[in-house]
Amino acid sequence: MNKLTKKQSKIIDNVKKALWSDYKLLSNYHDEGNYDSVRRVQRGIEDRLDGISSFIIYSDTDAWDAVKESFYEIIDDHVLSADYARELLPEFQR
């Protein structure tokens, strides 16, 4: 991965800060074993990430080219995967 400039790092940091409360809520629902709420919050985070990436792409393509790898790391986070939610389903718990 390329080293990000200060401005590019700030973009990624701001994305993470914007999603912090959603991640906290996601963790709480997971701890409670609430599958439906976990999936709902995951979809909400994915929608927000889609909107943020669209904004960056259309407002500053050079910035997008620089931060997209870091952005995809956020998108590929395990807590946003279906497997994370499936851990809560009885047939997957042994």
Listed by start position, the domains of the chain span 6-92
Tell me what pLDDT residue 94 has. 47
What pTM was computed for the model?
0.84
Tell me what pLDDT residue 93 has. 58
Q: Report residue 69 as tokens.
A: 């790898």
Low-confidence ranges of the chain (pLDDT < 50): 94
